[in-house]
Structure 1
C-alpha cells in the first residue's frame, strides 16, 4: 500500500473539463486562487476563450486553455499536453443533460454515455499509470475528481440518460478508488443537486415536458447552490481523503432512506413525480 498523502494545490498542475462556465469555471477559479496552474478544456471555443481570458487577467500565465473533445483518448491527450508539466489533478466535469423519457434517441444515449462516462475513463486511462509510478517511486501520485450528480446516488426524474450515466460515472469513480486508492491515486466524487448554471436554466425553460419535470424535481428537493460551493466542497473532501462530497447535505439523508428501504423510496419518488406533474 502506498500513502501518497493529499495533493498539494500550490504549484500543482490541474486540468478541468467543461470549464467554459458553470461548475468547471468555478473549479478553475478556486484552484487558481489556491496556487495551481490550470488548463481549461471545453468544446465551446467562444465561451472557453472568454472565461480563460477573464481568469488570465487575474492569474496570468497559470491559466491555459484547449478546445477539444475530452470524451476521446486523442482529446484527452491533447488537453494534457497543454499543461506545463505532469498533471497532478484532473477534474472530470464535462457533462450533458440530454434525452428525456423513453423518447430519448440512440444519439441521446450515445452522447450521454460518451460525455458523462467515457470521458472519465479516457482521462483515467491516460493519467493513472503515471500516478501509480510516481507514488511507487515516493512521489505524490495524483488526484481524480469526478463531478457526478445526486442523480448518480438517487435518480433523475425526466431523463433516463442522465440518471443512468451519472450512476455509471459514480460507479466508475468507486471502482477507481477501490482499485487504486491505496496506491497513490486519490479519488473524490462530488454529487450536487441543483446548481445555478446554464444547464439548470435551460432545463427549466425547455420545450420538453420531461426536461422541465427533471429540473422542477431538482429545485424542489433542495435549494440550488452556487457553482463555487460545489468546487469548494469537492476540494475539501479531496484534502481530507474522503471519497464522497455532498454539497447538499440532504442528499445524504435521501441516499440513506433509499438504502434502508428501496421499495418505500421508489413509492415516495412516484408520489413526488405525481405532485410535480400536477
Structure 2
C-alpha cells in the first residue's frame, strides 16, 4: 500500500521508532496524528514534521491502552484529515524483570503491549472492511519470536502481540485489511537501554544480549524499512534479517535452541559479576 494521501495514527510517536515513523510518513505524503503518553514529546514531533511538511501532523497526549483515548485519536484524525487509513500500534513498555513483577505490572504490560492493539482493531477494522481498505501495523519485537533474556513480561506480551497480528491478518486479510508486524532487534532508542540502566544483572544481561546479537540501527532506518515493507504488503518486518535464521533454528530443534539459550544467558550473567 502506498501511504501518500493516507491518514495515519502513530502511537508511541513522541520519539524513537514512533517519531521516526511519523516523520517518514509525512515525507511520503501521509497525514499523521502523533500520539504519546508524553503530550509535550508528541507535540515536539508534530511540530518538527510540520516544519518540513506544513499541515501534515497534529498531536495528542494520552494513554493509548485506553479505548476512550483511542476513540479520541480517531475522532481527532477524522476532524483534522479524514477517515483513518493506517494505524501504527507502536507504544510499548519493557515491563520489568524476572518473576518479581507483580499482578499489576503484568496487567499494565498486557494493556500497553497487547490489549491496546486489540482495542484499536475493534474500533477500526469494521470500518476498514466496509471501505475495503485499511492497514494495521503492530510493533512487536524479535523477542516476540525468539524470547528476551531477562524479561518474562516483555517476552510474553510481545509473543502475544505477534499472535494477535497473525490472527488479524488471517481473519481480515481477504477483506481489504492489511497487517504487518514489526520485529526488530536492536534499535537505538531509550527502550533498548532500560534493562542495563536498572543495574539488575538480568537487566544488564537483557541489554547485553541485544547489543551482542547484531547491528543496532537508528529509528529512521527502521521507519524506512517499515514503509518499504508496507509498500510490498509484507506481514513480517525484520529490520535485522538474521532474526529469520534464528527463528528457523528455534523451530527446527526447540530443545537444542532452549539449551543453547540457557548457556548463553548463563554466560551473559557471568559477565555482569
CA distance in 2, matches of 1:269, 1:230: 26
Matches within 5 A, 1:32-111: 32-83=26-77, 84-111=81-108
Number of the residue aligned with 1:181: 173
> Deviation at 1:232?
1.7
1:253 to 232, 238, 245: 245
Structure 2's unaligned 5+ residue stretches are: none
Structure 1's unaligned 5+ residue stretches are: 1-5, 136-140
Number of the residue aligned with 1:192: 184
> Deviation at 1:210?
1.7
DSSP-derived class of the 2:217 partner: coil
Kept after mapping to 2: 8 A contact 1:23/1:197: yes
CA distance in 1, matches of 2:121, 2:244: 27
For the aligned residues, what is the CA RMSD?
1.0
Matches within 5 A, 1:104-143: 104-135=101-132, 141-143=133-135
DSSP-derived class of the 1:61 partner: coil
Q: Deviations over 1:241-272 (max 9, x none)?
A: 21101000110000000010000000110111
CA distance in 2, matches of 1:19, 1:128: 21
Runs of 4+ residues deviating >3 angstroms? none
Does 33-42 or 216-225 show the bigger shift?
216-225
Matches within 5 A, 1:147-226: 147-226=139-218
CA distance in 2, matches of 1:40, 1:203: 26
DSSP-derived class of the 1:187 partner: strand
> Deviation at 1:46?
2.2
CA distance in 1, matches of 2:230, 2:59: 24
2:21 to 9, 18, 27: 27
> Deviation at 1:98?
1.6
Kept after mapping to 1: 8 A contact 2:195/2:202: no
Kept after mapping to 2: 8 A contact 1:32/1:59: yes
> Deviation at 1:205?
2.0
Instruction: Number of aligned residue pairs: give it.
Output: 267
Number of the residue aligned with 1:3: none
